[in-house]
Chain A
Amino acid sequence: MNNGKASSVWLYMRKNKWLYLLLIPGFLYLFIFKYVPMFGIIIAFQDFNLIKGITGSDWIGFENFRYLFQSDDFFMILRNSLVISFYQVLFGFPAPILLAILLNEIRSLLFKKFAQTVLYLPHFISWVVIAGIVINMLSPSSGWVNRLIVDFGGEPIHFLLKPEYFRTILISAEIWKELGWGTIIYLAALTTIDPSFYEAATIDGANRLQKIWYISLPSIASTIIIILILRVGSILDIGFEQIFLLYNPATYKVADVFETYTYRVGLLEGRLAFTAAVGLFKSVVGLIMIVLANRIARLFGKSLW
C-alpha cells in the first residue's frame, strides 16, 4: 500500500520531471540568499566575531537583547522609525489617492498620457541623484532656496544641519519621488467602475464633485483600505538610502532608524552581534505586523497571499 503510494508519487515526478528540474535553480537561489541569512540570525545570540565565525563564537543567550532594551539608542531609533512612518502615512498616503481621482477626471486623453509620463518619471530616479539635488538646492551658500530667503531679507539657513527640518525635507522628497507611481493602483481600480453609474448620476443631476464623493471614492474604498493596512503592516520599514544620503551627525537624533543604525554601528563600528539583535527585533516585529495586517485585509476580502 505504502509502497504503491510512493511509486505513484515517483511516477508523477517522472512524468513532470521538467517542471521540477526547472524549479531547482530558483529555489537554490532562495535557499542560499534568503534562507541561509535567516539561520544566520543566531549571531544575535552569540558573542560573535568574524574571525571565530558562527561555529566558533561563544553563545551568550539573550545578553545582546538585554543590552539592547537597556540602551537609549534603541528607544531613539524605535521612536524615529515610528514618527517618520507616521508622517509618511499622514502625508504620503492620501496624496496619490487625490491625484488619481484628479487624473481620472481629465477628459483629454493626450493630456492625461502626458501627465502620467511626467508623474511616473521621478520613481525611476535614484536616491543618490535626488539627495544630490536636495543638498544643492538647500545649500546655504549657493542653493536657490536660501537665495530666495536672502532676497526677501532673511538669513541663510543650514536646513540639513537642523533637526527640526529633517522630517519635512525627507518626506517632501519621498512624496516627490513616489506620488505619481502611487497613483497606478488607484487608477487601475477607478477604471473598473461601471460607466453607467456615472450616467445614472448625471441624469439625477449630480455634479462632478458629488460623483467623485458618491461613486469614485466608495468604489475604490476597498483598495484604499487594503493599501493602508499593508502600509501600516510595514511600519518599521523606512528605507536605508534616503535617510543615509540626507542625514548627518547633526540630525542623527531625529533621523536615525533601524536600517541606518544597523549599518553604522554594525558594519562601521563592528558591533555585529549587537546589531544582528537589533535586526532580529525589527524582523520579528515586522513579521508579526504584516501577518496581522494580512489577517485584517482578509476581512475585507483581499489579501497579500
Chain B
Amino acid sequence: MRKRIELFDIAVYLIVSVICMVMLYPLLNVAAVSISSHTAYMQNPMRIWPSDITFDAYKDILSHPVLARSYLNTIMITISGVAIGIFLYIITAYPLSKVHLKGRAIMINLVIFTMLFNGGLIPNFYLIRSLGMVDTLAALVFPTLFSAFSLILMINFMQNIPEELEEAAKIDGASEPYILFKIVVPLSMPIIATLTLFAAVGYWNSFFSAIIYIRSVENWPLMLFLREVIEGAKMLQISAGGNNAEIGNMNVMPETLKYATIMIVILPILSVYPFLQRYFVKGIMLGSVKG
C-alpha cells in the first residue's frame, strides 16, 4: 500500500516534469543559440547551454533601423490600447453591474450578441478603410479594443462587490463617478490587473490586424518586423545554398540573428509574466463566478 502510493507520486512528478521541460526547451534553445556563435550552433543545434558566447547577433539586430521604429510602434499601440480599453471596460461594466438598472438585460444581450455573430473580415476591412484608418496605428488599436468576454468578466466581478460600501458613500452625498473611481475601481484591482495583462499581451503579440491593415514599413509593429526577419533569414539561407564562402561575407548567421530577434521581442513579456501570474489566475476565477 505504502509503496504503491510512492510509485504513484513518482509517476506524477515525472510526467509533470517532462511536460514542463517540453514547454521550456524551445525557449531555452532560442536563448542559448542567440548568444552562441554560428559555428557552435551548427555543431549542436539542440543546445540549451550557450557556447563560444558572442553578442554579435544582438548588436546586428539592435542596429537595424526598422527594429527601433517597430518597437516604438508596438509600445505606443500597447499603451494606448490598454489605457483606452481598460477605461472603457470600467465605465461600461459599472452601470451594467447594477442589477436594478432599467434596460440592463437588453444591453447585456447586445454585448453578448457581438460574441456570437460578427460581420467577418471583409466588412471589417471596409469599415476601417471608410474611417480612413488603413495604414495607421489606429487600425492596430481600435478593432481589438474591447471584447465582450472581458467586459462580462468585469461585470461579474463588480456585481460581487458589497452594495453597502456604495450605499454609505451615497448617503454622504457622493456622486456616481466619485463612487466608481474612489470605491469600486480600487476594489476591482484584481480583475483590472487581469484584463490589463490580457490586453497588453494581446497588443504586444498582435499580428493579424497588422497584416491586414498596415502597408508601410514605418507603421510596422514588432511582430511584422520579426516575421520579416524570420522569412528574410529563411530566404538568405536558401539562396546561400549551403555555400560557406557566400555566407562567410555576413557577420552573423541567420539562425542566431533570428533567435536574437525573438529574444528581444519576448523579453518584456518574460520579465513581467512571473509577477503578474498570481493576478490573472485569481482574476479569472473571481470574474467567472456568476453573481
Interface residues of A (CB under 8 A from B): 9, 12, 16, 18-20, 22-23, 25-27, 29-30, 32-41, 43, 50, 54, 99, 102-103, 105-107, 111, 114-122, 124-129, 131-133, 135-137, 139, 141-144, 147-148, 176, 179-180, 184-185, 188, 207-209, 240-241, 244-245, 259, 262-263, 266-267, 272-273, 275-276, 278-280, 282-283, 286-287, 290-291, 304-305
Contacts and interface: CB of A to CB of B under 8 A. Distances in A.
A263 B124 CA distance: 12
B245 interface: no
Given A22-B92, A22-B95, A142 B123 contact: no
B132 interface: no
A178 B102 CA distance: 40
A27 B107 contact: yes
Interface residues of B, number: 91
A23 B111 CA distance: 12
A279 B8 contact: no
A226 B258 CA distance: 41
Nearest to B254: A142
Contacts of B102: 9, 12, 16
Interface string B2-16: 001100110011011
A37 B125 CA distance: 9
Most buried by A among B94, B111, B207: B207
B165 interface: no
B142 interface: yes
Interface stretch (B51-59, B60-68, B113-121): B113-121
Most buried by B among A9, A22, A137, A287: A22
Nearest to B126: A40
A197 to B, nearest CB: 18
Contacts of A118: 20, 23-24
Closest 6 CB pairs of A and B: A279-B120, A40-B123, A37-B119, A26-B92, A126-B205, A18-B176
A105 B17 CA distance: 13
B20 A115 contact: yes
A147 B45 contact: yes
A279 B116 contact: no
B120 A276 contact: yes
B183 interface: no
Given A106-B16, A136-B255, A272-B126, 19 more contacts: A23-B95, A29-B145, A37-B127, A40-B122, A115-B20, A121-B273, A124-B201, A124-B269, A128-B230, A131-B230, A132-B230, A136-B258, A137-B26, A142-B45, A176-B26, A179-B19, A207-B1, A273-B122, A286-B117
B211 interface: yes
Interface in B109-156: 109-112, 114, 116-127, 129, 142-143, 145-146, 151
Interface of B: 1, 4-5, 8-9, 12-13, 15-17, 19-20, 22-24, 26-27, 29-30, 41-42, 45-46, 88-89, 91-92, 94-96, 98, 101-102, 107-112, 114, 116-127, 129, 142-143, 145-146, 151, 175-177, 180, 201, 204-205, 207-208, 211-212, 223, 226-227, 230, 234, 237, 242, 255, 258-259, 262, 265-266, 269-270, 273-274, 277, 281, 284-285, 288
A180 B277 CA distance: 13
B122 A272 contact: yes
A241 B208 contact: yes
Given A16-B101, A263-B212, A115 B123 contact: no
Contacts of A287: 116-117
A270 B190 CA distance: 45
Contacts of A266: 121-122, 125
Given A43-B122, A43-B126, A141-B242, A22 B23 contact: no
A180 B201 CA distance: 17
Contacts of A35: 114
A87 B126 CA distance: 34
Contacts of A122: 23
A33 B201 contact: no
Contacts of A12: 102
A219 to B, nearest CB: 17
A302 to B, nearest CB: 9
Nearest to B230: A132
Given A23-B92, A144-B46, A283-B117, A128 B145 contact: no
Most buried by B among A26, A30, A127: A26
B12 A37 contact: no
Contacts of A176: 22-23, 26
A114 B20 CA distance: 9
A170 B91 CA distance: 40
A279 B119 contact: yes
B260 to A, nearest CB: 12
Given A27-B107, A142-B237, A124 B273 contact: yes
B119 A38 contact: yes
Contacts of B96: 23
B201 A99 contact: no
B116 A125 contact: no
Contacts of A30: 110-111, 114, 146
A2 to B, nearest CB: 17
14 contacts: A18-B177, A22-B92, A22-B177, A39-B123, A40-B119, A54-B126, A121-B270, A125-B27, A144-B45, A180-B23, A185-B288, A188-B285, A287-B116, A290-B116
